[in-house]
């Protein structure tokens, strides 16, 4: 079984989790020889987006902190001004390990923030990842399963 929405140009995969402090984290699995070039969070309700360029790519299946606590009335960073009632997508791209040349894309993960916040399993070793159907519907799976699927697909 492969991760949906991935083509021969897929050079990595992204999922979403919530850390114990309530912060959104991207769980990334970037194929060998690649590194994260950018991650983009798009508010599908308003059409606005924010792109970040992480300095370092975490280990395969590692995380990148996206926000402060989602319910925090005093946001800490650029991605913290999120509306729990809105629909979002998280995607990104990869670049060569030794240059800034773009090599591929991370397929978009679509989600409603309120559903993510209410899904308690996302704090307990599970991630929200693209499913295996053609529409790429988001599903909650064990983090290890996400990493295993990404490893097979890379």
Q: What is the CA radius of gyration of the chain?
A: 14
Domain ranges of the chain: 12-153
Quote the pTM value: 0.82
Predicted pLDDT at 24: 87
The DSSP bridge pattern shows strands 138-142 and 62-69 to be unpaired
Homologous superfamily (CATH) of 12-153 is Immunoglobulins (2.60.40.10)
Q: β-pairing, 102-112 with 23-30?
A: unpaired
Cα 34 from chain centre = 16
Chain-centre distance for alpha carbon 110? 9
- What string of pLDDT tens digits covers the 154 residues of the chain? 334 333 335 789 999 999 888 888 999 999 998 999 999 999 999 999 989 888 888 999 999 988 766 555 454 544 456 788 899 999 999 998 888 899 998 888 999 988 998 899 999 999 999 887 666 678 999 999 999 999 998 8
Give residue 65's pLDDT.
87
Inter-residue contact 129 to 109 (CB < 8 Å): yes
């Amino acid at each position: 079984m492969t991760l949906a929405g991935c083509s021969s140009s897929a050079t990595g995969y992204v999922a979403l989790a919530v850390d114990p402090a309530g912060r959104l984290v991207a769980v990334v699995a970037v194929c060998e020889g690649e590194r994260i070039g950018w991650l983009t969070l798009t508010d599908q309700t308003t059409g606005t987006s924010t792109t970040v360029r992480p300095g370092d790519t975490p280990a395969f299946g590692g995380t990148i902190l996206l926000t402060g606590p989602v319910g925090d009335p005093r946001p800490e960073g650029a991605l913290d001004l999120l509306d729990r009632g809105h629909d979002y997508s998280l995607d990104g791209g990869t670049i060569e390990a030794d240059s800034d040349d773009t090599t591929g894309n991370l397929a978009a993960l679509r989600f409603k923030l309120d559903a993510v916040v209410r899904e308690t399993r996302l704090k307990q070793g599970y991630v929200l990842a693209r499913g295996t159907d053609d529409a790429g519907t988001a599903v909650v799976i064990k983090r290890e399963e996400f990493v295993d699927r990404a490893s097979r697909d890379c």
